[in-house]
């Protein structure tokens, strides 16, 4: 169960930033004993892979903080983040961490299953992020984009660390995600009501 929570947390993290969980797993596997990647995923700790991830992360961090550019970036990331989520779930759910010293072979006979699960988790989180960003930009005249992006990056880092070291806390993130979804839909409903009222007032004038 713990390895499933680890994979889920890493996939959700990838939905916010595709490269943070992959890079963190690679760094921890290469330089520490906190995580031991399964055989098929040890390439994440390769120096060249880590360098490429670092460059992509730098581009993502900058692009996601500029209004309008962040929208284009989200469109591109619709493919990248779910893919990264699949990789993160596949690697994380089968890895040996300091929390799980004897991983189960829950996914061993169907290795494609965790990848698909990770893709779906990351895609869901990405779609929520992409839907929330226009609301933030519209209500703050674009000034909220860097703040929101920084918060998302920080959440991705924290979520990745928690998924590896304290995977049970991933459940807390799930509760927070549900609360965010409720807030987002309420906010979008309020904005539609405000626009309708504004149009009605214009017609009366």
Query: Residue 30 domain-assigned?
Result: yes
Sequence-distant (≥ 6) Cβ neighbours of residue 130 within 8 angstroms: 74, 78
Give me the residues paired with residue 36 across strands: 96
pTM metric for this prediction? 0.71
Q: C-alpha distances in angstroms, 36 versus 7, 12, 147, 149, 195?
A: 14, 20, 34, 30, 53
Give the count of domains, the chain.
Answer: 1
In a domain, 129, yes or no: yes
Picking from 82, 113, 79, the residue whose alpha carbon sits closest to that of residue 4 is: 113
Three-state SS annotation for 68-114: CHHHHHHHHHHHHHHHHHHHHHHHHHHCEECCCCCCCCCCCCCCHHH
Is residue 193 situated within a structural domain? no
- Residue 130 in any domain: the answer is yes
Given this model, what pLDDT does residue 53 score? 92
Would you say residue 89 lies in a domain?
A: yes
**Domain membership flag for residue 169:** yes
Q: Would you state the pLDDT for residue 94?
A: 62
- Structure confidence at residue 202 (pLDDT): 60
> 24: domain range?
2-178
Let me know if residue 187 belongs to a domain.
no
Write down the pLDDT at residue 114: 66
Is residue 204 in a domain? no
Q: Low-confidence residues of the chain, pLDDT below 50?
A: 99-109, 205
Kindly tell me the sign of the dihedral angle through the C-alpha atoms of 133, 134, 135, 138: positive
In this prediction, residue 103 carries a pLDDT of 45
User: Please, are residues 119 and 85 in contact by the beta-carbon 8 Å criterion?
Assistant: yes
Burial of 28 (0-12, 13-18, 19+ CB in 10 A): buried
Q: What is the pLDDT of residue 107?
A: 46
Residues whose CB falls within 8 Å of the CB of residue 148, separated by 6 or more in sequence, listed in order = 132, 133, 136
User: How much is the pLDDT for 100?
Assistant: 46
């Amino acid at each position: 169960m713990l390895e499933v929570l680890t994979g889920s947390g890493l996939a959700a993290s990838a939905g916010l930033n595709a490269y943070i969980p992959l890079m963190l797993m690679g760094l921890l596997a290469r330089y520490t004993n906190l995580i031991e990647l399964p055989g098929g995923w040890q390439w994440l700790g390769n120096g060249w892979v880590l360098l490429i991830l670092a460059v992509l992360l730098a581009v993502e961090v900058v692009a996601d903080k500029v209004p309008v550019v962040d929208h284009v970036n989200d469109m591109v990331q619709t493919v990248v983040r779910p893919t990264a989520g699949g990789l993160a779930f596949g690697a994380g759910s089968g890895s040996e961490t300091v929390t799980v010293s004897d991983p189960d072979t829950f996914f061993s006979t169907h290795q494609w299953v965790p990848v698909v699960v990770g893709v779906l988790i990351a895609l869901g989180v990405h779609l929520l992020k992409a839907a929330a960003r226009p609301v933030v930009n519209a209500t703050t005249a674009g000034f909220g984009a860097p703040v929101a992006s920084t918060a998302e990056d920080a959440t991705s880092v924290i979520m990745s660390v928690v998924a590896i070291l304290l995977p049970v806390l991933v459940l807390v993130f799930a509760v927070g995600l549900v609360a965010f979804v409720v807030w987002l839909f309420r906010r979008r409903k309020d904005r539609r009501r405000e626009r309708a009222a504004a149009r009605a007032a214009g017609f009366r004038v």
